[in-house]
Amino acid sequence: MKLLVTTILIILTSCPFLIAQEDPTLTLEIRIKQGSAEQWERVAVDFRKEFPNEQLIIKELSKIRIELVGKSYLGASFDEIIPKGKKRIAVLDLGPSYKWAKLKNGNVDQNFLEKIGFREKLFENRPIHYSELQEIQKKLLEHAENNGYPFAIVGLDSLNIKKDGSISARLMMDKKQYITFKDIEIFGEDVKISPSYLMRYLGIKPGEPYSNKTVLEIPKRIRELAFLREVKTPLVSFRGKAAIVNLFLRKKNASKFDFLVGVLPRDAQTGSRLLITVDGMFSTQNLLGAGERLHVEFRQLQPGTQRLDLNFGYPYLLGLPFGVEGDFELYKRDSSYLDLEYDAGISYSFSARNSITAFWHGKLTNLISVNETQIVNLKKLPTTLDTRFTDFGLKYNYENLDYRFNPRKGWRLETRASAGFKKIIVNNQIEELEDPADPTFNFKTLYDSLDLRTFQYQIENKIGVYIPVFPKDRGVVHIANRTGSIVSQGPVYVNEQYRIGGNKFFRGFDEESILNSTHSIFTFEYRFLLGTNSFIYLFGDTGFIQSKAPEQTTNDWPIGFGAGMTFETKIGLFGISYAYGRQNGNPIDFRAAKIHFGYVNYF
């Protein structure tokens, strides 16, 4: 009788004339064979009741049987299907509920079992759930193929079924040949890339165990490189005990020019109705074929105020996990002062997404001019002084994103901490001042109340999370925080403070207009993805701002919000944002929107 259903299925599928007409009112009833009713109530399988044809009924019965096998009824079967008008009665023989007597380790390495969390006690006198056994086999195979055994086989041995329905067995693994990575082979006529760089970047290390997970991640990793693209899925050649990864690549334009124009209304300093800001950037990567980068940026943020940034990085020096990086910044604040800031660091890469950097940092501030009249009249130093600051620190980066440039899920973290000494330099212009009303006053004595050499440390942290939301494959919520604090034994002068605000950090405000010694800014953003690098978004930025300037400490909770769009075309990336901001408890001025237009061209 148990062969009856199979016979019916063959007849139904091979003789379509028997079911030539569909009846939308066919119903299914399951009748349990004697002695199985109680068991059927316990398993509580939900199933569809109405069908338009016989084939769908048979498919539903097959799904029910698979579910019953997964619930320990390994012998469950439908013995027959009885037609009764528009009703089909399926007769179910559940059979016994099998349970584990013992599932013991046969020859599987103990460390493999520990990695997947297998414990023999979990399989003693418990119902057999076939899905659990499948999951164990799957995890063992995945662990094996990621640790040098891509051809491993997992199965059961010494299977013993007792009369009471209990089963004992031994878990066995045949690991086959141990395989290690040997090399990569690059196919592509126009590709200029160092194999040692690419192997380090992809996590392929000669002599280390073959990992299928590493190979499967290669397309995503290549996609995140600005200067290469994949033209074909990687292939792995196994030669004896060695694995060679074949990459099919093509050069991608990596140099880019980024131009951003800001239109800011009603500048109080100049009296103009509109203030135009300019942010131009040029960067290039892989000119030497080693994944190195060069970044140059010029910004004119306010009238008479300019900033120049130079940044260079060279990863995997001499094929080692060490790299070098450097940064130089020149900042001129109208006719007030000039900042020179520099970083030099050595990085160590645990992986392409996980690195730590030890750096040496220095900053020099030179006053260009001082308000002599104010100093003479008040007998007080200005809020900006000549300073020299040198510190040493560590920076840690970690990234786990599905796509670096426009992620849908994942998170990233950057933490930086440093400590050093600040030295205040006596300014010659101030020292040589004379007060006509008091010619004997020595203005150098204004520095006597200051500690000219103080200890100072700085902590910065950036973290961002991307969460996929509705609609599926399109919606993303981005939540981020950026925190920074300068902790000093004395006041933090204006030229030392953070300069935030603008399109890149805290939208809705003039570029770098918010000076502070401590900030913690939260970003909440909803993105609707239009393409690989295109999206529209709504955002809100808010947080805490504190400024510990000489003789004054101020606190504020500013808010910025708005919307924008970034879209990709054949000639580059275009972006536009429209934002409002509120600061110092003032009401929002809806006539003072901050509008930014951006363009990035790759060549």
CATH number at residue 477: 2.40.160.50
Collect all residues with Cβ–Cβ distance below 8 Å to 189 and sequence separation of at least 6. none
Does a cis peptide bond (omega within 30 degrees of 0) precede residue 471?
Answer: yes
Residue ranges, the chain, pLDDT below 70: 1-24, 34-39, 41-42, 259, 262-275, 301, 599-603
Could you give the C-alpha distances from 396 to 309, 328, 333, 411, in angstroms and in order?
Answer: 21, 20, 31, 14
Tokens 């970034």, residue?
566
At residue 215, the pLDDT reads 94
If asked whether residues 200 and 284 sit together in one domain, one would say no
The verdict on 151 and 229 lying in the same domain is: no
Verify that 381 and 436 share a domain, yes or no.
yes
Range of the domain at 71: 4-93
Task: Write down the pLDDT at residue 394.
Answer: 96
Sheet bearing 153-161, strands edge to edge: 126-127, 99-105, 166-174, 153-161
pLDDT at 600: 67
**378, exposed or middle or buried, with CB in 10 Å at 0-12, 13-18, 19+?**
exposed
Task: Please report, for the domain that includes residue 28, its CATH number.
Answer: 3.10.20
Residue 33's pLDDT is what?
76
Residue 529 sits in the same domain as residue 457: yes
Amino acid letter at 303?
P
Instruction: Among 140, 174, 208, identify where a domain stops.
Output: 174
Same domain, residue pair 312 and 449: yes
pLDDT at position 4: 36
pLDDT digits (tens, 9 = 90+) for 307-344: 899 999 999 988 889 999 999 999 988 888 899 999 99
CA–CA distance, 174 with 153 (Å, rounded to integer): 5
For 140, residues 6+ apart whose C-beta sits below 8 A from its C-beta are 108, 112, 113, 116, 152, 154, 173
What's the pLDDT at 274?
Answer: 65
pLDDT at 286: 86
CATH number at residue 127: 3.10.20.310
Last residue of one domain, picked from the residues 54, 70, 93 = 93
Q: How far apart are CA 113 and CA 90, in angstroms?
A: 42
Rounded to whole angstroms, the Cα distance separating 162 from 99 reads 10
Q: What is the per-residue pLDDT across 394-410, written as a single tens digit (0 to 9) for each?
A: 999 999 998 888 899 99
- The interaxial angle of helices 54-70 and 130-145, nearest 10 deg, is 80
Distances (CA, A) of 94 to 4, 41, 344, 438: 16, 11, 72, 109
For the CA atoms of 155, 161, 166, 168, the dihedral, rounded to the nearest 10 degrees, stands at: -40
Residue 464 in contact with residue 476, Cβ under 8 Å?
A: no
Q: What separation in angstroms does the CA of 359 have from each of 375, 394, 419?
A: 38, 6, 11
Q: Is there a single domain that holds both residue 163 and residue 307?
A: no
As a whole number of angstroms, the distance between CA 284 and CA 298 comes to 15
Q: Which of 326, 291, 318 is nearest to 201 (CA)?
A: 291
Distance CA 159, CA 167 (A): 7
Q: Are residues 410 and 518 in the same domain?
A: yes
Give the phi and the psi of residue 198 in degrees, each rounded to 5. -65, -35
Q: Sign of the CA dihedral 421, 422, 425, 426?
A: negative
Same domain, 89 and 65: yes
For 368-513, list the strands marked E by DSSP.
386-401, 410-425, 453-469, 475-488, 498-500
pLDDT of residue 347: 94
Based on the domain organization, do 373 and 502 belong to the same domain? yes
Predicted local distance difference test score (pLDDT) of residue 20 = 38
Residues 70, 185, single domain; the answer is no
Which residues are bridge partners to 396 per DSSP? Answer: 356, 415
Question: 334 and 267: one domain?
Answer: yes
Report the distance separating Cα 248 and Cα 273, nearest Å.
Answer: 55
Judged by phi (left if over 0) then psi (alpha if -120 to 50, else beta), residue 117 lies in left
pLDDT of residue 6: 40
Number of domains in the chain: 4
* Residue that finishes a domain, picked among 93, 115, 136: 93
Shared domain for 375 and 234, answered yes or no, is no
